[in-house]
Structure 1
Amino acid sequence: MPGDHGSIGPPVRYRSADEDSARWLDFAFRPGDIVISTRSKSGTTWMQMICALLVFRTPELPAPLTELSPWVDWLVEPADGMFARLEAQPHRRFVKTHTPLDGVVLDPRATYVVVARHPLDMAVSLYHQGANIDHDRLRELTGQAAPEPSTVASPEAHRSPQPPQPPRPRPPLREWLLSWAASRADPREEMDSLPGVLWHLSDAWARRDQPNVVLVHYDDLSADLEGQMRRLANVLGIEVPEPTWPALVRAATFDHMRARADELAPNPAGVLKDNAAFFRRGRSGSGREVLGEEEWARYRARTQAMVPADLWGWLHREPATA
């Protein structure tokens, strides 16, 4: 695993094809900053919207959500321009990261909000999200080379390159999910793998008693959105006039966010093929439905060996001994 939870020292560096957590070293914190730290498809945009509604106290945001709340680690956006925009913001700032807290600079003036989701539900959403990403556009923006054209293995191959072959179709969801659940990837290299997801949440869980670290469960947002928004407002010290609450809660519902997809989807560079498809379903339980009982038992045994029992029970919403 990347490092000891809560250890003092430089942040762990996490990198992927389009992310580099080293950009946090250049982030100039100021009092009141809010850092939203999640894994992909775990409620990131939802929490960004909630923070926006609490900060501005109105559903009418002054700019698109991605401009108000940039993804600090994302290599698609040049760092200088992003940091200049953040520096110019006069309001309380709230930014996004997919980096675990041990890879982010921890500043006592900031509040760190970590959103957790049942890993299997997160993975199902990630699977569907993969079909909505324009991978050629993403490679272009991050300076990655295009895939090499395929050639036929024959004596003439060196003289007669063949046209690029279409990408292989993705495996069916169940096959993909079982492979994902069996992954033993390094969390620093594949943050959206099962080990990466559980490391991210284990690290946050170990810090949950720190006064500026807040854990939120996706299922709690689904079950009691207003209660969770009020809880977060209290933690952040934000006072919302009572008559304003209904409009704010309504604006944070899944249906209302999907209706505003062009304004809220994280797509400033045109990486998503369809903004509305980003808000696909948003429900819980879809991952568990895919697995049979034996497959669920294997998943449960493996994940219980990877995280503390109390975290496992909180994350999966059932006793760890079940």
Structure 2
Amino acid sequence: MAGNGDCSPVMTFPLAPEIQHELQTKFGSFDKGLMKVGPGRYLLPRHCRLYLDKYVQFRFRPDDVVVMTFPRSGTTWTQEMVWCMTHDLDFTTAINTPLRARSPFLDFLKQHPDEDPCITGVFLAHAESVPSPRIIKTHLPFSLLPPSILESCKVIYVARHPGDVCVSYYHHQRLFKQVNFKGDLEEFLDLWCRDLVLLGPYWSHLSEAWAKRTHPNLLWLYYEDVNKDPLRELQRLDQFLATGLTEDELLQVAQHSSFANMKARPATNISLIPESPILVPGEAEFVRKGEFN
């Protein structure tokens, strides 16, 4: 395998037929089935088999910053802050250009408006083509990425209280047509506890990152800390990224990326895009409350 000198084959594991049937019934868009992947037995759609080796081989650049999270842990918020900090506080571009265009999503679980990532790998191609400095988003755990990632670039891992994550993820999985979860919150919680939600198990995802928390190229953030004291956490980000911003400039980033402002902009809240082809009408917004329930 090429790329960063890594060679790490990714193992896949089939689900028991009764589990497969249950998930195909509850997740309307995964009629082709799901599978468990890697040492953490992460739940992914079957089409991921086309790309697993490509993700392990992905060439990260020295000036890349990877925002890594379990879904619904503050990913969009962190991307927006980091993009602005590493792009000369270009708030005009940030307001007028969708975040997904500025900060590529490495993964393959959502639908591109023009192409099917299950067939074309469009997200992977986008991440490869974006000019430096790249702010790359991923929900993949460390074990499904190049083993040398922390020797190649910087990674920001954001963790959030599991109760908040679970509730937010439930609404998210109902919102996107490419997932189309049909159950209620109680049914989703049952799947969560059985490690049967997409990209679960949650605790395995966190523990892989926690084991690397002392590496100088990994910054661990807590969603709750950013919410409670954004300036302090932005100062930690500034030091980690070596962006050399003043306190006044960091306060500008905090204001730009406040929950109210993020929720009000189509660039960061895709629910504001009229008649979006990827969202289920009538469900909760992509940017909801930023808090529990």
Partner secondary structure for residue 263 of structure 1: coil
Which structure has the greater CA radius of gyration? 1
Structure 1 counterpart of 2:153, which letter?
A
Counterparts of 1:1-322 in structure 2, within 5 Å, are 10=8, 12=10, 14=37, 16-17=44-45, 20-56=51-87, 57-61=89-93, 63-74=97-108, 76-77=111-112, 78=117, 82=123, 85-105=126-146, 106-107=148-149, 108-135=151-178, 170-171=183-184, 173=185, 175-176=186-187, 178-185=189-196, 190-193=197-200, 196-260=201-265, 262-265=266-269, 270-273=277-280, 277-284=285-292, 286=293
User: How much does 1:21 deviate?
Assistant: 4.2
Counterpart residue number, 1:298: none
Please tell me whether the aligned partners of residues 22 and 73 of structure 1 are also in contact (alpha carbons under 8 angstroms).
no
Counterpart residue number, 1:4: none
Q: How many residues align?
A: 239
In terms of fraction of residues, the more strand-rich structure is 2
User: How much does 1:252 deviate?
Assistant: 1.1
Partner secondary structure for residue 131 of structure 1: helix
Show structure 2 runs of 5+ residues with no match: 1-5, 12-36, 38-42
Q: Specify whether residues 64 and 184 from structure 1 end up closer, same or farther in structure 2 by C-alpha distance, changes over 3 A only.
A: closer
User: How much does 1:80 deviate?
Assistant: 6.3
User: How much does 1:84 deviate?
Assistant: 5.3
Aligned partners of 1:234, 1:240: CA distance in 2, in Å?
9
Partner secondary structure for residue 158 of structure 2: strand
Partner secondary structure for residue 267 of structure 2: helix
Please tell me whether the aligned partners of residues 21 and 99 of structure 1 are also in contact (alpha carbons under 8 angstroms).
no
User: How much does 1:182 deviate?
Assistant: 3.2
User: How much does 1:244 deviate?
Assistant: 2.2
User: How much does 1:9 deviate?
Assistant: 6.2
Q: Specify whether residues 39 and 86 from structure 1 end up closer, same or farther in structure 2 by C-alpha distance, changes over 3 A only.
A: closer
Aligned partners of 1:22, 1:228: CA distance in 2, in Å?
35
TM-score using structure 1 length: 0.65
Aligned partners of 2:106, 2:171: CA distance in 1, in Å?
24
Aligned partners of 2:90, 2:284: CA distance in 1, in Å?
22
Please tell me whether the aligned partners of residues 156 and 218 of structure 2 are also in contact (alpha carbons under 8 angstroms).
yes
Partner secondary structure for residue 249 of structure 1: helix
Moved over 3 A (4+): 11-15, 18-23, 75-91, 190-193, 265-270, 273-276
Partner secondary structure for residue 95 of structure 1: strand
User: How much does 1:126 deviate?
Assistant: 1.2
TM-score using structure 2 length: 0.70
Show structure 1 runs of 5+ residues with no match: 1-7, 140-166, 287-322
User: How much does 1:229 deviate?
Assistant: 1.4
Please tell me whether the aligned partners of residues 133 and 271 of structure 1 are also in contact (alpha carbons under 8 angstroms).
yes
Q: Specify whether residues 87 and 98 from structure 1 end up closer, same or farther in structure 2 by C-alpha distance, changes over 3 A only.
A: closer
Aligned partners of 2:174, 2:129: CA distance in 1, in Å?
36
Structure 2 counterpart of 1:101, which letter?
F
Partner secondary structure for residue 183 of structure 2: coil
Q: Deviations over 1:141-197 (max 9, x none)?
A: xxxxxxxxxxxxxxxxxxxxxxxxxx9x633x3x23551453154xxxx4444xx10
Q: Deviations over 1:265-319 (max 9, x none)?
A: 36898422469811111114x4xxxxxxxxxxxxxxxxxxxxxxxxxxxxxxxxx
User: How much does 1:217 deviate?
Assistant: 0.8
Aligned partners of 2:204, 2:133: CA distance in 1, in Å?
29
Aligned partners of 1:89, 1:132: CA distance in 2, in Å?
28
Q: Deviations over 1:78-135 (max 9, x none)?
A: 5665555445544411111111111111331311111111111101011122332224
Q: Specify whether residues 206 and 266 from structure 1 end up closer, same or farther in structure 2 by C-alpha distance, changes over 3 A only.
A: farther
Q: What percentage of aligned pairs have identical amino acids?
A: 28
Across the aligned residues of Structure 1 and Structure 2, the Cα RMSD in angstroms comes to 3.0
